[in-house]
């Protein structure tokens, strides 16, 4: 006589019937709802504001939902700014940032994980210690180095710093450490070089964490506006984030409803990107944590 086995959760059904547990769960649900409202409210204001008329934007008391859908705000916004060019610049930046952020840290992480290099633990500790340094402290030195190299107002000012990521090195190393070393020993016996071991064995086995880093590189490239404002002087090379700040947020000629329309259009691609690849983010981080 077999009974269906149910997996027991942290709190059993018997505990859930207790009054203190119900009160605690009630507070947790209220907290989650408050967090959800606080996070979704700005998005709703942007989306619904893009569909309001100019009069509805400045009406008092303010309204959350539009009374009349003003779709012409989008045509006015797209006529004011060249989103297609900025989107293309962002994709170019992302392609270079992703290649640099994976190749250079990947080779460094593979060397620390599967090659006999002197003072390997000291080098690893050095990379870990750099994570505690605020990024604002080396912002000016990076700018001066790029200026001395003549790389300002070029995309190399983004691609080279993207390769100096201690976080990527340590995340990839934690994953490479979990790969069986006998695979690389067998490949070396067959005459494979270290580069071939990396590209043919380590990289294919590390697709979950690599996809995670690709997603992180996309969000960082899409959201960063301060660094492009420092190293780029030609507006024709501005990515999406710089376009938003200089041509939308600080624009005096645009009304708020038109600004909201452009912001809504710019907000959609990363949202879709995250919804599609959110499982890859969690899967890659979980595997990296287990491997570490």
Strand intervals (E) in the chain: none
- The per-residue pLDDT for range 93-103, each reduced to its tens digit, is 999 999 999 99
Q: Do residues 225 and 244 lie in contact, with contact meaning Cβ atoms separated by under 8 Å?
A: yes
User: What's the pTM?
Assistant: 0.76
Distance CA 49, CA 291 (A): 46
Q: Rounded CA gap, 143 and 82, in Å? A: 28
Among residues 74, 93, 58, the alpha carbon closest in space to that of 237 is found at 93
The two three-digit tokens of residue 252, written as one number: 């005096």
Q: For 12-51, what is each residue's pLDDT tens digit?
A: 666 667 777 778 888 888 999 999 989 888 888 888 888 8
pLDDT value at residue 107 = 92
The label of the residue with tokens 């599967």 reads: 114
In this predicted structure, what is the pLDDT of residue 274? 77
User: Hey, what domains does the chain have and what are their CATH numbers?
Assistant: 77-291 (1.10.3720.10)
Give me the mean pLDDT over the 79-106 stretch: 90
Pull the structure tokens for residue 211.
């996809």
Alpha helices in 115-165 (DSSP H): 120-130, 139-148, 156-163
Residue of 256, 257, 276 lying closest to 268 (CA atoms):
276
CA-based nearest residue to 256, from 49, 68, 3: 49
Q: What tens digit of pLDDT does each residue of 189-246 get?
A: 888 888 898 998 888 888 888 888 888 888 888 888 888 888 888 888 889 888 888 8
Tell me which of 113-122, 171-180, 257-266, 281-290 is least confident: 281-290
Contact in structure between 76 and 261 (CB atoms under 8 Å): yes
The predicted structure's pLDDT at residue 285? 53
């Amino acid at each position: 006589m077999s009974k269906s086995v149910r997996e027991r959760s942290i709190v059993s059904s018997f505990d859930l019937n207790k009054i203190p547990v119900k009160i605690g769960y009630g507070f947790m649900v209220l907290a989650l709802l408050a967090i959800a409202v606080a996070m979704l409210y700005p998005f709703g204001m942007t989306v619904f504001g893009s569909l309001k008329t100019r009069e509805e934007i400045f009406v008092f008391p303010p309204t959350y939902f539009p009374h009349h859908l003003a779709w012409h705000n989008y045509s006015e916004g797209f006529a004011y700014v060249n989103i297609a060019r900025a989107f293309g610049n962002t994709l170019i930046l992302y392609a270079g940032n992703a290649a640099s952020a994976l190749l250079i840290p990947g080779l460094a992480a593979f060397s620390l994980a599967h090659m006999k290099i002197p003072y390997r633990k000291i080098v690893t500790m050095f990379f870990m210690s750099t994570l505690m340094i605020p990024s604002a402290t080396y912002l000016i030195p990076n700018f001066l180095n790029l200026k001395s190299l003549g790389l300002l107002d070029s995309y190399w000012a983004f691609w080279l710093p993207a390769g100096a990521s201690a976080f990527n090195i340590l995340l990839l190393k934690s994953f490479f450490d979990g790969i069986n070393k006998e695979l690389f020993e067998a490949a070396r016996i067959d005459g494979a070089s270290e580069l071939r071991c990396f590209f043919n064995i380590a990289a294919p086995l590390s697709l979950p964490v690599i996809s995670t880093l690709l997603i992180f590189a996309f969000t960082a490239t899409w959201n960063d506006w301060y660094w492009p404002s420092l190293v780029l002087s030609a507006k024709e090379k501005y990515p999406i984030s710089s376009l938003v700040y200089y041509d939308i947020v600080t624009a005096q000629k645009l009304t708020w409803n038109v600004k909201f329309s452009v912001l809504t259009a710019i907000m959609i691609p990363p949202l879709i990107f995250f919804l599609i690849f959110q499982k890859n983010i969690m899967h890659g981080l979980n595997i990296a944590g287990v491997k570490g």
